[in-house]
Amino acid sequence: MALNFLSTAEIRAISFLDSSNSSTQHLKLKAQTPPPAWPGRAVAEPDRKVWDGPKPISIIGSTGSIGTQTLSIVAEHPDKFQVVALAAGSNVTLLADQIKRFKPKLVSLRNEALIDVLREAIADVEHKPEIIPGEEGLVEVARHPDAATVVTGIVGCAGLKPTVAAIESGKDIALANKETLIAGGPFVLPLARKHNVKILPADSEHSAIFQCIQGLTEGSLRRIILTASGGSFRDWPVEKLKEVTVAGALNHPIWNNMGKKVTIDSATLFNKGLEVIEAHYLFGAEYDDIDIVIHPQSIIHSMIETQDSSIIAQLGWPDMRIPILYTLSWPDRVYCSELTWPRLDFVKCGPLTFKAPDNEKYPSMNLAYSAGRAGGTMTGVLSAANEKAVEMFIAEKIAYLDIFKVVELTCAKHRDELVNSPSLEEIVHYDLWARDYAASLVSSKGLSPVLV
């Protein structure tokens, strides 16, 4: 069952910040802007700690895409990194294998019902880790006293509380959880500054920007240019999008091993809209100074423009391990074997092309920029509504085009309750509210649903 399809005209007009609607005027007021993680430049402190042996890390979401790729890096570079704590959801078999191989001191399993299954799976392990279940375990893994850096690789606001715990414990953050800044930015960024904690971006686009701003002087950054693959339907006309299937949306033309949620977000371009918000929080750029360009080859991972109009870009084969590795090693560079990290060959990669994104095909961009300019809790509501909509699409409860409408309606409903400078409790509250409201837009009785 699905909501009514959006027409081309509806897609063109989609926006919950209608300037003609007086109820939205309070959103025009500039929200209090939190301090960016990296204000247009990145400089390592001369007295930063240097590790004599392997750098100790914790991983939140060890059995997911980010977690498994992080562990592949640890396996290849045992002289550089070691695992002290792991947190997983419910994949007991994989977690047990990780325990046997990497020998963490502490392990968390979010699904408390599977704790006995895990204990049985590692019964023959000589040095068994401490096991703490549920949300308490997530927090303890995040603030493990031996960890220097915490990799946050789980989706959703479930990653927010352990990230806050890690920051309060003085751990640097290898950030792969978008909600940390998109929903929690107004709270997390001042906290990170208070505890002198580094937030290092682990996704490819923000890592590219982070690499490009190394060594810039203050005020040198002029513009951020985020590149987008265009997703599974980049060559489709907008009229054909009503035929999209789940299997088609999950068939990304370039990237592999991203997970279902991120792959769908790549198709809708919500991933890029969310990255615009994240770039604003990470680097302090105004929304008018953050652009999106479609780059089908995904070789240039993003670019910056400096005040003198020079363009600096970061290039490489599409491989999430590269940005993950840099979050762990910054400001150093770790040598990697060509056998497992193929070097970029410009002849093999061929022509690099670019085109402007189609706002009719990707109304997610207008929604994301609108939410970003509204600020406060609106960005978290946008992200949570999208996550719920994608979940319903994968379950075939709504159609592909309905993802945009669900997000728009949820954000529109939130206008009158927007909080400009939210507490952690308010961030979590509106995340849960957005998911519930998005789900309420679909009939629960199996009848043909209609928009609320």
Parallel, antiparallel, or unpaired: how do β-strands 172-175 and 149-152 relate?
A: parallel
Characterize 33-42 residue by residue with b for buried, 16 or more Cβ atoms within 10 angstroms of its Cβ, and e for exposed.
Answer: ebebbbebbb
Alpha-carbon distance 355 to 422, whole Å? 37
What rounded mean pLDDT belongs to the chain? 89
3-state helix, strand, coil in the chain (%, to 5): 45, 15, 40
Alpha-carbon distance 417 to 430, whole Å? 9
Q: What is the CATH number of domain 55-201?
A: 3.40.50.720
Tokens of 171: 């751990």
What percent of the chain stands above pLDDT 90?
A: 75
List pLDDT tens digits, range 120-152: 999 999 989 999 999 999 999 999 999 999 999
Tokens of 133: 């279940």
Look up residue 405 and give its amino acid.
K
Alpha-carbon distance 42 to 215, whole Å? 6
List pLDDT tens digits, range 344-376: 999 999 999 999 999 888 999 999 999 999 999
Alpha-carbon distance 96 to 125, whole Å? 9
pLDDT of residue 5: 44
Alpha-carbon distance 92 to 83, whole Å? 18
Please check whether residue 232 is in contact with residue 252, taking contact to mean a CB–CB distance below 8 angstroms: yes
**140 closest CA partner among 86, 193, 207:** 86
Please check whether residue 205 is in contact with residue 302, taking contact to mean a CB–CB distance below 8 angstroms: yes
List pLDDT tens digits, range 52-92: 899 999 999 999 989 999 999 999 999 999 999 999 999 99
**325 closest CA partner among 41, 77, 141, 88:** 77
List Cβ neighbours of 41 (8 Å cut-off, separation of 6 or more). 213, 215, 216, 217, 218, 220, 221
Alpha-carbon distance 219 to 242, whole Å? 45
Look up residue 443 and give its amino acid.
S
Q: What is the CATH number of domain 214-319+346-443?
A: 1.10.1740.10
C-alpha R_g of the chain: 22
List pLDDT tens digits, range 277-322: 999 999 999 999 999 999 999 999 999 999 999 999 999 999 999 9
**Domain ranges for the chain:** 55-201, 214-319+346-443
Alpha-carbon distance 170 to 183, whole Å? 21
**351 closest CA partner among 309, 314, 300:** 300
List Cβ neighbours of 392 (8 Å cut-off, separation of 6 or more). 398, 406, 438, 439, 442
Asked whether residue 16 carries a pLDDT value surpassing 80, the answer given is no
List Cβ neighbours of 105 (8 Å cut-off, separation of 6 or more). 84, 85, 129, 130, 144, 146
Mean pLDDT over 223-246 rounds to 89
**232 closest CA partner among 205, 250, 218:** 250
Please check whether residue 81 is in contact with residue 107, taking contact to mean a CB–CB distance below 8 angstroms: no
Look up residue 363 and give its amino acid.
P
What percent of the chain stands above pLDDT 70?
A: 89
List pLDDT tens digits, range 369-393: 999 999 999 999 999 999 999 999 9
